[in-house]
Amino acid sequence: MGHGGDVIAELTTDHQEVEELFGRIEALPSGDEQRKKYADQAVIELVRHSVAEEMYLYPAVRELLPDGDGIADEEIEDHAGAERTMKELEAVDAGDPGFDRLIGGLMKEIRSHIREEEDDLFPRLRSAASGDQLMKLGDKVRQAKKTAPTRPHPSAPDTPPANRLLAPGAGMVDRVRDALTGRGKD
- Whole-model pTM: value is 0.84
Q: Is residue 185 part of a domain?
A: no
Q: In 10 A of CB 111, how many CB atoms?
A: 14
> Which pLDDT belongs to residue 176?
47
pLDDT average, residue stretch 19-26: 97
Q: Is residue 1 part of a domain?
A: no
Average pLDDT value for the chain: 85
Q: Is residue 86 part of a domain?
A: yes
Indicate the number of domains in the chain.
Answer: 1
Q: Is residue 186 part of a domain?
A: no
List, for residues 119-136, the tens digit of each pLDDT value: 999 999 999 999 999 999
Q: Is residue 66 part of a domain?
A: yes
Q: Is residue 29 part of a domain?
A: yes
> Which pLDDT belongs to residue 162?
45
Domain span including residue 60: 7-180
The pLDDT confidence band at residue 183, using thresholds 50, 70 and 90, is low
Backbone torsions φ then ψ of 30, nearest 5 degrees = -50, 135
Q: Is residue 69 part of a domain?
A: yes
pLDDT average, residue stretch 76-102: 92
